[in-house]
Structure 1
Amino acid sequence: MGIVTTIAPIALALIMLGLGASLTVKDFTRVVQSPKDFFIGMFCQVVLLPVVAYFLIIILRTPVELALGVMLIAAAPGGVTSNVLTKFANGDVALSISLTAITSLISIVSVPYVVFLSIELFDITYVKSEVSMLSISLKMFFVVTVPVIIGMILRKLWGNFIVNNMKIINKISIGLFCIVFIAIYIEEWDSIVMFITKAGAIALALNVTMMVVAFYIAKFFTTGVAQRRCISLEAGLQNGTLAVFVGLQLFGTNMTYMVPTAAYALIMMITSVIFVLILRKQT
């Protein structure tokens, strides 16, 4: 697992740097201007997603060795891919960026909280004993929050250059995401094959359930079709690289427990692209 252990933190930091470079102060003040849409999106992603994941684990009788991997991907914030696909789906890109930005920043608290609550709920014993909520939060701060801040500073200093090259930056971010998961599939192929049926089932159930539930919640509570599409994609697309990084802190080099994350990363791309294609036919 040496390659993944090495590249995951670097890839995550670069992805978050790219996210920061795409942000302006308006992306944060927009929350005040349209609070209802934002908080519905936040609720679906930060609160509802882990809750749905927990009940699906119980209902589908997911093995305990896979349970924490499922909760980990459920706790992860949205990724850059959600912003890109929201654009292709003719959704509210500005809302998508705001949701991704703020959920990413609060993830240094929300992700460790969900993870350690899950450890207690499922009585999990395979986590490294020296790991604490504080230690994970601090490590996430340096690979998530700091790169975002640096990216925003770069955007402020070289705004025209950044704006003109945002497509390239997004492609690099998606490329880094793919590299991490290709490395996982190569290095952990035996574990993936062993657990793929159960991991794939829970990953598919979680992804589809959340996209559908978020879509209809947004239909009743948000301002329009574009917001509905955005929130559905935000609820279904997670930052898998961040989940891998946290998993490395929890499990060390034993990545068997990360199989659900690897399965979800593949499934979410397939289902989200299908969802976007359906939406584009409707417009």
Structure 2
Amino acid sequence: MDDSITLLCINLAKLTLFSLMLSLGMTLRLEQVLLLWQRPGLLNRSILAIVVVVPVLAVLTVLCFRLPSEIEVGLILIAIAPGTSLTFHLPHYNRSQPYAIALQATVSLLAVITVPLTITMLQAFFPPEAQISPLNVVRQLTVAQLLPLLIGVAVRHCWSDLANNLEALITQVANVLFCILIIWVLAQQLDAVLHIDIVSLIVIGLLVLISLWVGHLLGGRESFTRMTLATTTATHSAALALFIAALNFPHLSISPAIAVYVLVSVAITIAYLTWHLPTRVS
């Protein structure tokens, strides 16, 4: 990939992640976080599904199937990148909003620790050309994820009227940037996307399906909580995964695998909700 295109990809991924976290911070209210933290059973199951089970599933997938190295690294990166922008556009979001926002904020804060730690443990599954320094990831996530999240929280806490006025705009900007990022990756890497083999597509779909099932199973008795955890567990943060990939090993063609994962996970998640909502929602 040309250096100028690589730099553009890095900056676009960084700006997208920054705006998503700023939007989340401005949306977040303390009582929403406390509502989740006061339910340790649900909190622990949610973190277990997102931070532990899905990365383990990705590793097992890499071990069980002979996939191209770019696909393997892409699957591992998307699996260890907690959070999602999809939850806030789903039909059940209004009813599960406090849990969804609190969950997003919790795993986004934990990501500064869990992502570098997971990378350290999974280095053996990365090819030699995709080795990455966990300390560099800590610094990168602190600037691109933790800082904007805390800025958003500070604005919400200190200037609530300003946060109310800016919240919708920043959320729209973040969503547009995310769509542009995925479309741009697909356009720039169209040849690589079209050459992803059928086995890799099936494996990606299988990983999404199992992740959905894990989130649904661990989401508790409330239907909207189950659906929120299922979608969060299955989709993960493509912006974060693309940011890490573009910044640390831009010479590898990993972004097409991540972009395809987004498309597959969105399609399967929509199908899951289409099937699930009519029987669960009055």
* TM-score normalised by the chain length of structure 2: 0.89
User: Is 1:126 the equivalent of 2:129?
Assistant: yes
What per-residue deviation string (whole Å, max 9, x for no partner) do you get for residues 140-172 of structure 1?
101100000111111123323433554443332
User: Is 1:8 the equivalent of 2:13?
Assistant: yes
- 1:106 paired residue number: 110
Distance 1:167 1:279, change over 3 A: farther
Quote the Cα distance in structure 2 between the aligned partners of 1:234 and 1:209.
13
- 1:270 paired residue number: 267
Moved more, 223-232 or 137-146: 223-232
User: Is 1:23 the equivalent of 2:23?
Assistant: no
The offset of 1:269, in angstroms, is 1.5
Aligned counterparts, 1:37-116, within 5 A: 37-85=42-90, 88=92, 92-116=96-120
Quote the Cα distance in structure 2 between the aligned partners of 1:106 and 1:14.
18
What per-residue deviation string (whole Å, max 9, x for no partner) do you get for residues 195-238 of structure 1?
253442222111111102221233xxx24222211211111121
* TM-score normalised by the chain length of structure 1: 0.89
What per-residue deviation string (whole Å, max 9, x for no partner) do you get for residues 83-124 of structure 1?
332x5366522111111111111111211222332221x252
Q: How many residues align?
A: 275
- For the 8 Å contact 2:82–2:107, the answer to whether it is kept is yes
- 2:257 paired residue number: 260
Quote the Cα distance in structure 2 between the aligned partners of 1:197 and 1:256.
18
Moved more, 107-116 or 159-168: 159-168
Quote the Cα distance in structure 1 between the aligned partners of 2:167 and 2:277.
23
AA in 1 matched with 2:9: V
SS in 2 for 1:78: coil
SS in 2 for 1:92: helix
Quote the Cα distance in structure 2 between the aligned partners of 1:4 and 1:237.
21
User: Is 1:149 the equivalent of 2:150?
Assistant: yes
Q: Percent identity?
A: 21
The offset of 1:22, in angstroms, is 0.8
Quote the Cα distance in structure 1 between the aligned partners of 2:174 and 2:21.
8
Give unmatched runs, 5+ long, in structure 2. none
Measured on the aligned residues, the alpha-carbon RMSD in Å equals 2.0
Moved more, 29-38 or 138-147: 29-38
- 2:249 paired residue number: 251
Distance 1:209 1:156, change over 3 A: same
Give unmatched runs, 5+ long, in structure 1. none
Distance 1:203 1:30, change over 3 A: same
